[in-house]
Amino acid sequence: MRYGATGLPGARWAVAILLPLLGCCARTTPVDYSGPTAGWSAWGGNEGGMRYTPATQITPGNVRHLKIAWTYRIGAPQLAPAHPTDPAQVPGLLAKGITPEAMRLPALEATPILAEGRLYVCSSSNRVVALDPESGREIWSFDPKLDATGTVLMVCRGVSYYHDVQAAAGSACASRIFTGTQDARLIALDARDGKPCPGFGNAGTVDLKEHLGAMRPGDYGVTVPPAILGDRVIVGGKITEDMRIDMPAGVVRAFDARSGALLWAWNSVPPQAEGVTAEGTYRRSTANTWSVFSVDSQRNLVFIPTGNAQVGLYGSTRDSDGRDYYAASVVALDGTTGKVVWHFQTVHHDIWDYDVPSQPVLFDFPTAQGPVPALAQPTKQGYLFILNRETGAPLVPVEERPAPQQWAVEGEHLAATQPVPTDPTYNLQRPKFTEQDMWGFTPWDKAKCRELFRSKNYEGAFSAPSLKGTVTYPDNLGVMNWGSAAVDPVRNLLVINTSHVATVAQLVPREQADARFAKGEWLLAQAGTPYAAQWTAMLSPWGAPCNKPPWGELVAIDLKAGKRLWQVPLGTTRDLAPFPLWMKIGTPNIGGPLVTASGLTFIGAATDNYLRAFDNATGAELWKGRLPAGPQATPMTYRLSPQGKQFVVIAAGGHKYMRTTLGDYLVAFSL
């Protein structure tokens, strides 16, 4: 018999050593059930989009123990067989305003909501499902049979919940799920069984194309959850941008949540203009309202982030009737009448696609005189505007700064100034680029990026698109996009993710554009103007952004102290590059964060397949959970009962534009 150095027999020696180690590794932290329960009743967590939960079961101390609790597959979209795939058909389709290669880009960007003990969420083809929150089991589903003809990007970011306090308990459609579709319908479903509510509109559906006038397939639709304010369901709409000057109106409408009757409509034309033309249609090509609204029930206000009037990269056609007046703005409307209470424009005469992409975040801003009802508006150009939500006045000072005046094409004019927060804490835009800021994995690809930079026009932010091509930073996806910010109202902390990528904006004279269309090339048509347009990503020959990293960051701002608390890279090249080129470099991202009362920020968004948790005190990454596809979405969290666990749920569907892994998953984590 052999003995180890301890004098024990070899097998017994091994057991004596390994058992304590195995016990250590198997030990788990007991789940604390003493904290509060919490829901997630709206897309942004609450009606004001704070993306905050009072749930405290998952903490910085135990988050490393999170594991996948359940996975649900919502199903890939089924496109109509009539959609052509042959590139030879592209020129003819372009002439009809249809973009077959683009409409084949489904994106699962939805955030579920929790209501009456169920999760509700939609797929990229507008299929709505109800799930058991603790198991992921499907309870019911509703398929609106979407007509996706001409749709540029197939996406549904969420649905909304409404409860009729006047309805008898347990009656049909006493509680409703509202969903807008990409083919321009507003649908009311019974929250119990998913059946259309017969008393709403026409058998549960309101046709949103009414009074919009002539349109082509894919011109107009809804991709975000409707807003609920009292007994009103309020909805805007997106359009296919930069195709032609004659597009449907960017009108916002309020409907009776019970009957579907139209209560009011606001079209984003100047105050002196009429909202509806003599022909009975809303004034066309006004700024669309594609992103998520917020509401303040106490003040009876709805806050609208507006897009661009058409077309985007050549603005002179908008001047004659003042359609820029409400474009690229946040607008406060009276919830009863739809009248404008105030508006704040974030970009003047926008020709960079710097429309307002993010849900306004409503919170109380700490000041020396006490808390003030406020609104945080993230923007593509990288500015975070903090406004008094009752008046629209800046709570963080804003000044008009001179903007570049070079390279405007014939017929265009440029805004002389642009609004900028004076406190650099709220300016998340990178400083002006130089040739030295170009980057590469090797001297060779860095040199190629510098060569590309020298070949284009550039004079800092707001450099005009040009015939030669203009380096545009931020790019049109922006420093901040639809994921918006999260606010912890107890710690006075705002957390937001940012992207930092440059692109090239170029205008193409009409004759040249027509010749390129005839060859089957893809451009933004901008029909009705002298110029088509194109965006070209500013990438190295190896496909990496030419500007130096980090290309994505997570930023925390102490609102009371008025300073950045921390700023860390977000994302790695794990799912974009082969091993060993997996670098924690910070990557471009789409999606948003949530914050918890226990001191955590959860976020996916990056171009690797992970959901991450960060320490709100330090910015340290404490945990990451592997996902089956890209998490280009915003997570949500809930805890149903005092005996239950806290779950964190995120959609993992990927995004073809960002080259992330595609899928159709909802993934839930718990301790």
Q: Report d(CA 547, CA 127) in Å as an integer.
A: 39
Beta strands in 489-543 (DSSP E): 493-499, 503-509, 531-537
Per the DSSP assignment, residues forming a β-bridge with 190 are: 176
> Average pLDDT for residues 465-477, to the nearest whole number?
95
Q: Report d(CA 621, CA 477) in Å as an integer.
A: 25
Return the percentage of the chain with pLDDT > 70, whole number: 90
Three-state DSSP at 186 gives: strand
Beta strands in 136-201 (DSSP E): 138-142, 154-155, 160-163, 175-180, 185-190
382, 507 Cβ separation under 8 angstroms: no
H and E: helices and strands count for the chain? 5, 41
**Please, which pLDDT band fits residue 14 given cuts at 50, 70 and 90?**
very low
pLDDT digits (tens, 9 = 90+) for 382-392: 999 999 999 99
Residue 18: pLDDT above 50? Answer: no
The two tokens of residue 234 are 């309020």
Based on the residue annotation, tell me whether 353 is a catalytic residue of this protein. Answer: yes
pTM score: 0.92
513, 523 Cβ separation under 8 angstroms: yes
Element (H, E) at 444: helix 443-454
Q: How far is CA 654 from CA 61, 77, 257, 665, in A?
A: 30, 14, 33, 9
**Of 188 and 31, more confident:** 188
> Average pLDDT for residues 37-49, to the nearest whole number?
98
> Average pLDDT for residues 101-122, to the nearest whole number?
84
Q: What is the pLDDT of residue 407?
A: 93
Residue 96: pLDDT above 80? Answer: no
Return the percentage of the chain with pLDDT > 90, whole number: 79
Q: Which of 98-107, 286-295, 329-338, 568-577 has the lowest mean pLDDT?
A: 98-107
Pairing relationship of beta strands 593-596 and 52-53 according to DSSP bridges = parallel
251, 266 Cβ separation under 8 angstroms: yes
Residue 421: pLDDT above 80? Answer: yes
282: DSSP letter: B
Among 237, 337, 243, 253, which Cα is nearest to 287's?
237
pLDDT digits (tens, 9 = 90+) for 128-171: 999 999 999 999 999 999 998 888 788 999 999 999 999 999 89
Q: What is the pLDDT of residue 280?
A: 72
Residue 447: pLDDT above 60? Answer: yes
Q: How far is CA 16 from CA 4, 8, 24, 48, 469, in A?
A: 11, 9, 13, 58, 71
Question: 110-166+173-207 has which fold?
Answer: Lipocalin (2.40.128)
- Cα dihedral 191, 194, 195, 201 sign: positive
> Average pLDDT for residues 165-181, to the nearest whole number?
96
Q: Report d(CA 244, CA 311) in Å as an integer.
A: 6
Q: Is the peptide bond before 550 cis (omega within 30 degrees of 0)?
A: yes
How far from the centroid of its chain's Cα atoms is residue 248's Cα? 23
Residue 91: pLDDT above 50? Answer: no
Q: Which of 85-89, 127-131, 348-352, 650-654 has the lowest mean pLDDT?
A: 85-89
Residue 88: pLDDT above 50? Answer: no
Residue 101: pLDDT above 70? Answer: no
Residue 255: pLDDT above 60? Answer: yes
Q: Give Cβ neighbours of residue 260 (< 8 Å, ≥ 6 apart).
A: 186, 188, 200, 201, 202, 206
- Cα dihedral 297, 299, 300, 306 sign: negative
- Cα dihedral 206, 208, 212, 216 sign: negative
pLDDT digits (tens, 9 = 90+) for 296-306: 999 999 999 99
557, 563 Cβ separation under 8 angstroms: yes
Q: What is the pLDDT of residue 277?
A: 64
Q: What is the pLDDT of residue 273?
A: 66
Q: What is the pLDDT of residue 82?
A: 33
**Of 646 and 102, more confident:** 646
- In one letter, which amino acid is 487? V
Residue 17: pLDDT above 90? Answer: no
Q: What is the pLDDT of residue 590?
A: 95
Among 498, 496, 575, 585, which Cα is nearest to 549's?
585
> Average pLDDT for residues 440-447, to the nearest whole number?
92
Q: What is the pLDDT of residue 622?
A: 98
Residue 100: pLDDT above 80? Answer: no
**Please, which pLDDT band fits residue 15 given cuts at 50, 70 and 90?**
very low
Residue 27: pLDDT above 60? Answer: no
Pairing relationship of beta strands 372-378 and 384-388 according to DSSP bridges = antiparallel
Q: What is the pLDDT of residue 28?
A: 62
Q: Which of 15-29, 39-53, 348-362, 409-423 has the lowest mean pLDDT?
A: 15-29
> Average pLDDT for residues 333-362, to the nearest whole number?
97
Phi, psi of 247, rounded to the nearest 5 degrees: -125, 165
268, 250 Cβ separation under 8 angstroms: yes
112, 636 Cβ separation under 8 angstroms: yes
**Please, which pLDDT band fits residue 23 given cuts at 50, 70 and 90?**
very low
Q: What is the pLDDT of residue 502?
A: 95
What's the mean per-residue pLDDT of the chain? Answer: 90
Q: What is the pLDDT of residue 566?
A: 98
Residue 520: pLDDT above 90? Answer: no
Q: Which of 189-193, 211-215, 353-357, 402-406 has the lowest mean pLDDT?
A: 211-215
pLDDT digits (tens, 9 = 90+) for 65-80: 999 999 999 987 654 4
Q: What is the pLDDT of residue 76?
A: 78
Catalytic-labelled residue, pool 353, 488, 575, 608: 353
